[in-house]
Homo-oligomer: A and B are copies of this chain.
Amino acid sequence: MTRPEPTPDARTGPSTRGPADLVITGCTALVHDEREEVGFVENATIVVRGGRIETVTAGPVIGGTVTAGTVDLTATGLAAAEHIDARGQVALPGLVNCHTHSPMVTLRGIAEDLPIEEWFNEFVWPIESNLQERDIELGARLACAEMIRGGVTCFADHYFSMDTVAAVTTESGLRANLGQAFFSSHGAEGRERSLDFALRHRDTADGRITTSLAPHAPYTVDDADLAATARLAREHGLLVHIHAAENRDQTEASLARHGRTPIEILAGAGLLDTDLLIAHGTGIVERDLPVLARASGRVGVASAPRGYLKFAWPTTTPVRALRELGIPVGLATDGAASNNSLDVWESMALTALAQKFTEADPRRLTSRQALHHATLQSARAVGLGERIGSLAPGRRADIILVDLTGPHTQPVHDLAATLVHSARAGDVRTTIVDGRILMRDRELLTLDVPAVVREMNARMPALIDRSHGKRIQDYDT
């Protein structure tokens, strides 16, 4: 987020410097025009060099030919260490999971059909008091595998034992913004550990890891800690990632106790004058809008609509109101213990559907709007708006290839609609981060799922034991 990017080259054709690292030919590429409208380039060639997108060109490669049966790359005047023939596929910027707790995949399905209070107090927080480093490691590994398989190339993680998550992120090849969560009940030490983590890991893994300060929420972190967090974020140029106004009940409880909404508490602590990622925000109310409008920091919101439906919350993230303020709304899954998956593709479709329903207007979100949320807005929400989120020269080469030859994605009358409403996470064939292929033709290249699952299941009885009666925190908004 804070590292300046070199100005992208304004090349219009492939470079003539030595071989490229990767060339993708024959795909349809999702691009953004000057007004950020989503469009598509047919029969595109994407050239990747040094982990970046060098060019995205339309039509046959300059000076080259694409023959009927196979792409003859030598005839194109291009040389590349790696070539992907992507005919029948669409290239998109990799999806960004803007708010998750990756190791919680371990608890997928353990606390079902419950209100959030029981979900936290009876299941999640008691079980989390058993978590060992090895559980975190296995969970993070499984989560990274799931995300790579679903076309996610970057995730914003907010959890505990984040040194371990950082190590797994590095090994997986994914990009991430990582934050070590803390409660005020941890004392000053929690905040210090969060800062220490953020400073040690920022811009590691060849720049793929960025970091944030990660106070849990205004109802578990007091005003003094929030204000201290804001000061540290400004001092060190760090993003702050926090749950706030998660639901309407939290906003009402905050008003009853403090006379202020969660958003007003963030503003009072100075957090709206830092770069801030707010998770959920379904409890953002009318009076919060002028407060958000006055923010001087880059504020983004992460929306994970499946969980709001599942917990039967009465509202979803107020996307229209936030967009009118220019606030990016990124797509997210939250943890798999509530969402049951890390499927950002589903979040994209559900965001469109939930907005139509709650705004009582079938005309919005359109599929192109949904794709804008999934690309540039998600990149901005996690503080990477200059690096990723678009297939444009100079951006990092985080690219996914989506197969549209299945019967459920044919015929194609409106490619944006096909992507949002017909395609599924399982249609992603290839996932690329920084120009490196992490999944090719559905095969994971950096992680071993069966080994992870075997060990995870062996450790499960100890992990899910709740007989000790402990919990890491109480949910009482």
Q: Which residues of A line the B interface, CB within 8 A?
A: 105-110, 112-116, 142-143, 145-146, 149-150, 306, 308-314, 336, 340-343, 353-354, 356-357, 359-364, 366-367, 405-408, 410-414, 417-418, 421-422, 424-427, 449-450, 452-453, 456-457, 460, 464
Contacts and interface: CB of A to CB of B under 8 A. Distances in A.
Indicate how many identical chains form the complex.
2
Given A109-B421, A361-B312, A142 B406 contact: no
A310 B460 CA distance: 40
A450 B411 CA distance: 11
B341 A406 contact: no
Contacts of A343: 408, 424
- Most chain B C-beta atoms within 10 Å of own C-beta, residue among A146, A313, A342, A411: A411
B413 A354 contact: no
A413 B456 CA distance: 12
Given A312-B359, A418-B109, A410 B341 contact: no
Given A145-B407, A309-B357, 18 more contacts: A105-B407, A109-B422, A113-B367, A114-B363, A143-B407, A146-B408, A313-B357, A340-B418, A341-B408, A341-B421, A343-B408, A405-B450, A407-B452, A410-B456, A411-B456, A424-B425, A426-B426, A426-B427
A168 to B, nearest CB: 13
Nearest to A457: B411
A366 B460 CA distance: 24
16 contacts: A109-B417, A112-B366, A113-B362, A113-B363, A115-B363, A116-B362, A142-B410, A146-B407, A146-B408, A308-B357, A312-B359, A312-B360, A312-B361, A341-B408, A405-B453, A413-B464
A426 B406 CA distance: 10
Contacts of A107: 413
A460 B411 contact: yes
A342 B407 CA distance: 10
Given A146-B408, A149-B407, A414 B357 contact: no
A407 B142 contact: yes
A207 B312 CA distance: 43
A414 B361 contact: no
Contacts of A150: 408
Contacts of A106: 411
B109 A362 contact: no
Nearest to A148: B407
Contact of A108 (B309, B353, B413, B460): B413
Contacts of A364: 113
Given A309-B356, A312-B362, A343-B408, A367 B112 contact: yes
A-B CB proximity, top 9 nearest = A340-B421, A426-B426, A309-B353, A145-B407, A109-B417, A146-B407, A110-B413, A312-B362, A109-B413
Contacts of A115: 362-363
A34 to B, nearest CB: 23
Contact of A109 (B366, B414, B424, B457): B414
A245 to B, nearest CB: 19
A306 B422 contact: no
A353 B464 CA distance: 26
Contacts of A366: 112-113
A99 B274 CA distance: 51
A110 B113 CA distance: 37
Nearest to A363: B113
